[in-house]
Structure 1
Amino acid sequence: MSVQDDLAAVKRRLQDLEHAVEELERRVEAEQGSPPAPTAGRAESLVTIPDAPYDSGLWTDTDDEGLGARDRHAP
C-alpha cells in the first residue's frame, strides 16, 4: 500500500470512531434523562457457606483429583 492509501484508511477509521463516539454521547444523554435502573444489592447475591463439614456420603463415587479412585493406587 502507498502512503496515500494508508492515510485514507486512517481518515476513514477516524471518522468511524468519531461517529461511534457521537452515538455513545447521544445514548448517555438519553439515559441520564431517564430514572436509574434498579440494581441488585451485593447482599442479595452472596451465598453463605456453612462451616460444618460436608456429608462424606456425597463423595463415595468420586475420584480424588490427580490421585484416581479411592480404592485404587495412583500410577
Structure 2
Amino acid sequence: MSLNDDLTAVQRCLDDLDRALGRLARHLPQDDRELRRMRTDAGHLRENFALLRETVPAEAPRPVMVQVSDTPYDASLWRDADEEGLGCRDRRAP
C-alpha cells in the first residue's frame, strides 16, 4: 500500500469510529460520562491525525517508464570509447 492509501484507511477508520459511537449513544443515557470521554478521545484522534497529515510530505510522482528497444546499438557509437579497466585498444593495460 502506498502512503496515501494508508492515510485514507486511517481516515475511514476514524469516520467509522464516529458513526459507531453515534449508534452507541442511542442506546445509552445522554449524560453517560464514559461515552462523552470516548467521543472526546475520538475528537482528539481526529485532530492529531489532521496534524499528522499536514506534516506528511506529498508523494513523489511515479517515474515514467521508458521502453528501451531490444535492437542492437550502432557499433559506430563505441568507435572512440575505451573499455573500463582495460584502457585503450592500441595500448597495453597498466
- For the aligned pair, the TM-score class normalised by the smaller chain equals 0.3 to 0.5
> Could you say which structure has the higher strand fraction?
1
Q: TM-score, structure 2 length as denominator?
A: 0.35
User: Which structure has the higher relative contact order (CA within 8 Å, separation 6+)?
Assistant: 2
Task: Flag the structure with larger Rg.
Answer: 2
